Amino acid sequence: MRLLVLGAGGHALVVLEALDALGREVAGVLDDRATAPVLGRPVLGPLASLEAHGAGGAVVALGDNALRLHWGEAARRAGLALPALVHPAALVSPSARVGDGAQVMARASVGPLAAIGALAVVNTAAVVEHDCVVEDGAHIAPGAVLCGTVRVGAGALVGAGAVVAPGRRLGAGAVAGAGAAVVRDVPPGAVVAGVPAKPLRGSG
Ligand SMILES: CC(C)(COP(=O)(O)OP(=O)(O)OC[C@H]1O[C@@H](n2cnc3c(N)ncnc32)[C@H](O)[C@@H]1OP(=O)(O)O)[C@@H](O)C(=O)NCCC(=O)NCCS
């Protein structure tokens, strides 16, 4: 199945190289701004042209969680498949579930009975331990660690190198800053940072 890559920014570079490592056929890239080839792949048109290129599937390579969810839904409506992307150098437990359009990058680890939602990203060298749930469109950034039984809500971001203590929950759209140590639950939409993580905004 030929794939379209949606987005031409930094996250798309990581996605394209993961697709190369898997030997997947890429028809080209769609982006609203870029015109020059991206890692040798042509930019075929804007994101909204996704029905026009005769591809069977899409990988939504947009780092912004809301945009990734938006364009994932658009690709689905256009009849494109959204295959999960698991880099061959990732370690994914046989009992873990990885949803449609989810991306698990190189050296990431997903433990037993973990569930990665649709269009979620487990980025380079991130660790998602046993029994975690990462809901749709969330992003576990490079080097972040979710200890066992953590739940990360839809569209939430766990920043690079952050650690979430066992059993903690981040609500939908919450953000844990880079390097945070999350030892308390984080309400939906709140932004926390630091060690231990404290609210920056949105959670009083
Ligand atoms: C937490 C975060 C979202 C805050 O962004 P922001 O709202 O633009 O915050 P600002 O840069 O305006 O900083 C506001 C204050 O918070 C502090 N701060 C920002 N990020 C922080 C962090 N990660 N840890 C500790 N303090 C932080 C700043 O030093 C600043 O403090 P000051 O007011 O005393 O000067 C952002 O800094 C962050 O860490 N994002 C995660 C990035 C990431 O890992 N992306 C993954 C890409 S693959």
- String of DSSP letters for 47-84: GGGTTTT--SEEEE--SSHHHHHHHHHHHHHTT-B---
H runs (alpha helix) in the chain? 10-21, 65-77
For the Cβ of 189 lying below 6 angstroms from any atom of ligand 1, the answer is no
Which residues of the chain form CATH 3.40.50.20? 3-77
Tokens of 77: 């409506």
Residue 4, judged by CB atoms within 10 A of its CB (0-12, 13-18, 19+), counts as: buried
**d(Cα 153, Cα 137) in Å, to the nearest integer?**
9
Calculated CA dihedral for residues 106, 109, 115, 117, nearest 10 degrees = -20
pLDDT of residue 54: 86
Active site residue 87: no
The predicted pLDDT at position 31 comes to 98
Which CATH code fits 3-77?
3.40.50.20
Q: How many CA atoms lie within 13 A of 201 on its CB side?
A: 1
CA dihedral 146, 149, 154, 156 (to 10 degrees): -30
Residue ranges of the chain assigned to CATH 2.160.10.10? 85-191
What pLDDT shows up at residue 202?
Answer: 56
Report the top-level CATH class of 85-191.
Answer: mainly beta
10 CA to centre of ligand 1 in angstroms: 19
Mean pLDDT per segment of 10 residues, for the chain of length 204 residues? Answer: 97 98 97 97 97 94 98 97 98 98 98 98 99 99 99 98 98 98 98 98 56
pLDDT the model gives residue 66: 98
Task: Say yes or no: CB of residue 142 within 6 Å of ligand 1.
Answer: yes
Catalytic residue among 11, 87, 130, 139: 130
What is the spatial distance between Cα 133 and Cα 19, in angstroms, rounded to a whole number? 25
Determine the pLDDT at residue 203: 52
Pocket test for ligand 1, best of 13, 191, 200, 203 (most atoms within 8 A of CB): 200
User: What CA–CA distance (Å, rounded) separates 192 from 30?
Assistant: 34
Q: Is 123 in the pocket of ligand 1 (CB under 6 A)?
A: yes
Ligand 1 contact via 13 beta carbon (within 6 Å): no
